Structure 1
Amino acid sequence: MRSLTRLAAFLLLCASVSVFGQQDEPDSEARQRVAEDIDKLEEPMYSPFIERYMLDELKQLRIDLSNQRADLIQQVVDRELNSVDRGVTYATNTVTYFFYLIAAVSSLLVLLGWNSLRDIKEKMSNLADEEVSKLVNAYEVRLRGIEKQITQKSLHIDANREEIERTQEIHSLWLRANQEQASANKIAIYDQILAIKPEDCEALTYKADVVLELGEPQWAVNLCQQALAIDSDNAHAFYQLACAHTSLGHYEEGIHFLAEALNRAESYRESLMQDPALFPLHDLPGFQELVGPREEE
């Protein structure tokens, strides 16, 4: 993200230099000031660039999967045609050799007077038909196996394509939620994410955070419990439960869930003293035990 910010700033610098070049030669002090402003940039200038980059990457991945599927089907069809061609050639050669053998044996038997040429021809014809039938059945079994493999590959490719589409849609909704300022609109976006992926614990916990800001702590408790039913070690859900119970006046439960969150993610310790939802707990002994060792350090 920072590299994109620097790239946008560099383009801005190039544009300014080109403008200066059309008028007068820019002095060294102006260039120095622009360079210093570029180094001080901390936030991205064009966040839609990131979204566009991700969408283009997902689109290219879908195109690659489609091309891979077409190549796979073409390869399988070519192999199938080659196999059938070899089988037909083998069967033709086999029948031809059988008739050569029949002619030789028939001539010998006729000369020796053992049997008539018609009887020999019928027996050898039946034998040739049996051999050809065996070959045809064997190749039919192989072709059915190839067809089954093609069907499985097609189903797998379709499942991957659907998963990519779901991921792309969920990613777009997360970007909208991050840019949205109204709490009601954020809740609506989180509901759309949960409609696509009901087991998304992150969407449940972030929705609980927004609901808590709207003054609905009991609703936030229910959402966090749903998230913990999916992932029992979700530290964010425990932290939101602590904030919700604190808002309800359940200070002991709030300290308990706060301890559970800290046991799973020490990073929450940095926000204990700054989170307004936890201000009522600051003077309680249980809360001081949680933050005491870190404060002594």
Structure 2
Amino acid sequence: MKIMMSALVATALLGSIAIADEIDDQIQRLEKENKLLELQKKKKELEKQNQMVNKNNTDGNNSLTIDSKSGKTKNPNSKNGGFIGVEGVLGGDTINDTYYIQDTCDGRTQCSSTILFTASNTTFDLGLVGGYQHYFGSSQRHGIKVSAHLYSGFGNSWQLSAVDPLFGDNVTGSISYIPIKFGFDVKYLWDFMQRGKHTLGLNVGLGYEFDAYVNGKSTVSNYDDEKLDSIFLNSFYPVIGLHYYYGHHQFELMYRFGGIFSELGSKQVYYDSEPITAVLSDASLTSVTSYKISLLNQSYLTINYAYRF
């Protein structure tokens, strides 16, 4: 009996040991599975993080455009670059017609002059404008702009009404020219407002312009029509104004201080191809008549549109 009891106890102990070993094996297997699951979870998290990093890098790379010619990066939000567009200028022209008489009598010369008329007209010039601008620093609020313009205009015809000082006749008619104007400006730019694609700023600078008034014509009553020689003049002017950008589209509204440093252009025109000679009772008189056209150009309000590329 004792032997049987001992056998049963031994068998029970061996069964318990086998069950404990099996339980330990299952626990170890579960721990390995949990570790594997944790490693897989961490792997997925790392993969997600890598995807986010790669996406951010891709977005960052897309914000920079590679210039294949220069090998440099260009910010698409940069305001640097060349531009071309159209420009209009509102101004005025003042013309003086001065009549000269030079008499030589008995070896003595006397000269006299009379202003026949003075007239002013409002003018409008229209043409092309182009140039380059460059902003400094990462904020791109301060820059320099160099531009050149070429245009012609309207309003360069003047009606005249005067009295001929030599014969006393009433003289009416007109004088007209075709203007061709070329110049350039250098301006400092300060952008005091930037909101997305919208930019508003101030520009201040100096400009120079060369004007050629060509194909002049004079139509005067009681006289033959006459072709007039061209008149040339130069002018320097300060300029101040505002500029507005919307992306690559640029607008400017400026005031030119016209006439401050303007040069008065003039041309002497002779009525007589040969001197007029008369014999008086006691001497001979030689008379030469001529007139001088003087022209002053003044430009004021300027507006332009340009596309920056």
**What TM-score, normalized to structure 1?**
0.26
**What TM-score, normalized to structure 2?**
0.25
Higher relative contact order (CA 8 A, sep 6+): 2
Greater strand fraction, Structure 1 or Structure 2? 2
Greater helix fraction, Structure 1 or Structure 2? 1
Computing the radius of gyration over CA atoms, which structure comes out larger, 1 or 2?
A: 2
